[in-house]
A and B are shown apart, each in its own frame.
Chain A
Amino acid sequence: MLTLPVFAWSRPKTVDEAMRVLAASPGECLIVAGGTDAVPNLKHRLHEPKRLVHLGGIEELRGIRVTDAGLEVGALVTLTELAAHPYVREHYAGVADAAEHVASPQIRNMGTVGGNLCLDTRCTYYNQTFFWREALGFCLKKDGTRCHVVPQGKRCVAAHSSDVAPVWIALGAQVEIATPGADGASGAVTRRLLPVEAFFVGDGVHNNVLVPGELVTRVLVPASSLGVRTAYRKLRPRAAIDFPMLSVAVAARGDASRIEALRVVVSALGAKPRTLGGLDAIAVGKPHDAALAEAVGAVAFKQCHPLSNVPYDTDWRHDMVPVFVKRAAPGALGVDA
């Protein structure tokens, strides 16, 4: 039995109200939507907030809309809703597929798009009970000073573990963030937009750019990305529930006879997803054949370095990088794997 720590509670009904609550106790709030990541982490004493701000009552954060500008996905849309949405399935199959790959049906019913983006990083030495962590002298990410994955490391390397984020990045999606006004609680709330890729930073302690008081409100996929095909592949111990030990998102324009653009994002390595570099030179203008698949796989192998931050053998996970890139790529190029 894992009890929750003591905390105060707010359930705002609008984004503005949520922002006022957050501004009133800067740095002391934990934002919760579905709770599937936050609640186990609270039970493990990984978060110790004074106040929980529960977003469940904010109707304006619900719903998926298709406009001339593109696809707008509210932060409170559940992963089940995202995976089942007809427009998403038709145009952004990789997004629906990645959402469908998150954990179990119940967790997808509860977990939200915003929460999935803000998912805390995961590590063998972090996602444990207080008793377990204390026995090891804690770690760099929480309560300690030493990293057990990279013993001399100064920076936390806990793994980014969101399934959908790599696909958002491959697609060029943007995240909308509500930001408090210049003078905090009394200032007008503004919204800032940034590419999902720029949302993440390479520090496992806090792997995104959100500052206390900010709130993710929507994910936007620009209409210009229509025609980009996406695919997602995930390596995990049990297909029914686990977090990724490796994940690969591919977005491509063109088809198997001629690739016009190719983006590959690999995650569950370190604190932020890795977008492979140098693919334009080897893929654009070329057909998708065995030689190209090998070349892209080799680039992935060279640029990706799994660590012992998540379970299972790192050399094996490294060997699986090109395998999963090769398995994902055909889906994004409209050919059968």
Chain B
Amino acid sequence: MDAAALVPCTIHINGDSRTCAITPATTLLEALRYELRLTGSKQGCDKGDCGACTVLVDGVPTLSCLTLALACDGRAVTTVEGLAEKGVPHPLQDAFDRTGGAQCGFCTPGMLMSAYALLQRESAPSRDEISHALSGNLCRCTGYTKILDAVELAAAELRERAK
């Protein structure tokens, strides 16, 4: 495939199948933000250190700034825009709001996606497990305590709903 040629790339994003025309040198983050106008995933360090661009690829937390968009052709991607259902925030989003887990908010989409993946596989994670699952997401505002509180609160809410 030519370097400069635009090629179609179809990604199943948040349940929708979306196609964009990109060059091979396009990251998943660039495709999401600049082609598909999904600006929830943030462009922080852009080299894999900060976690602000974390999305789920086939359910697995992945750094979209280091993922080539064409490698996701035909795969399922979940971004922070996919968490709310019918305009109602996901319990994690609600919990970040209630605990003050989001301050400037720049790290929040990545935090939410890492936390969402954790709660998908573990309904009652320990404080250590939460902290480990979020260890690839940097926050410069909160000191992390409120974020850990938020994930605990959301986990409790989700367990309550499942009863």
Interface residues of A (CB under 8 A from B): 1-11, 32, 34-36, 39-40, 43-44, 50-52, 54, 56, 103-107, 109-110, 239-241
Contact = CB atoms under 8 A, between A and B. Distances in A.
A241 B49 contact: yes
B48 A40 contact: yes
A113 B126 CA distance: 29
A294 B114 CA distance: 43
B26 A4 contact: yes
A4 B31 CA distance: 13
Interface stretch (B66-74, B84-92, B95-103, B155-163): B66-74
Contact of B136 (A5, A44, A50, A105): A105
A293 B51 CA distance: 40
Interface size class of B (residues with CB under 8 A): 20 to 34
Interface in B46-66: 46-49, 51, 54, 60-63, 65-66
A100 B127 CA distance: 19
A277 B51 CA distance: 41
B1 interface: yes
A50 B4 CA distance: 11
A7 B3 CA distance: 5
Interface in B114-143: 114, 132-133, 135-137
Given A2-B47, A9-B1, A110-B62, A52 B54 contact: no
A262 to B, nearest CB: 31
Q: Which of B25, B62, B66 has the most CB of A within 10 A?
A: B66
Contact of A36 (B27, B66, B133): B66
Contacts of A39: 27, 47-48, 65-68
B47 A106 contact: no
B136 A107 contact: yes
A35 B54 CA distance: 15
Contacts of B82: none
B79 interface: no
Nearest to B7: A9
A35 B132 contact: no
Interface string B1-43: 1111001000000000000000111110000000000000001
B150 to A, nearest CB: 18
A51 B2 CA distance: 9
A56 B66 CA distance: 14
Contacts of A56: 71
Given A105-B114, A106-B51, A241 B136 contact: yes
A207 to B, nearest CB: 21
Nearest to B24: A9
Interface of B: 1-4, 7, 23-27, 43, 46-49, 51, 54, 60-63, 65-68, 70-71, 114, 132-133, 135-137
Closest 4 A-B residue pairs measured CB to CB?
A104-B136, A9-B24, A4-B25, A240-B135
Given A39-B48, A110-B67, A104 B3 contact: no
A237 to B, nearest CB: 12
A51 B68 CA distance: 13
Given A6-B23, A7-B24, A104 B51 contact: yes
A8 B3 contact: yes
B70 A11 contact: yes
Contacts of B1: 8-10
A106 B26 contact: no
28 contacts: A1-B43, A2-B46, A5-B25, A6-B4, A6-B23, A7-B3, A8-B3, A9-B1, A9-B70, A11-B71, A35-B67, A36-B48, A36-B63, A39-B27, A40-B48, A43-B46, A43-B47, A52-B24, A54-B70, A103-B48, A105-B61, A106-B54, A106-B63, A107-B136, A109-B60, A109-B61, A110-B62, A240-B136
Contacts of B61: 105-106, 109
A106 B4 contact: no
Given A4-B27, A241-B135, 6 more contacts: A5-B25, A6-B23, A9-B70, A106-B63, A106-B136, A241-B49
A273 to B, nearest CB: 23
B9 to A, nearest CB: 11
A107 B63 CA distance: 7
A240 B114 CA distance: 14
Contacts of A52: 24, 68
B116 to A, nearest CB: 13
Contacts of A54: 68, 70-71
B108 to A, nearest CB: 16
A9 B72 CA distance: 13
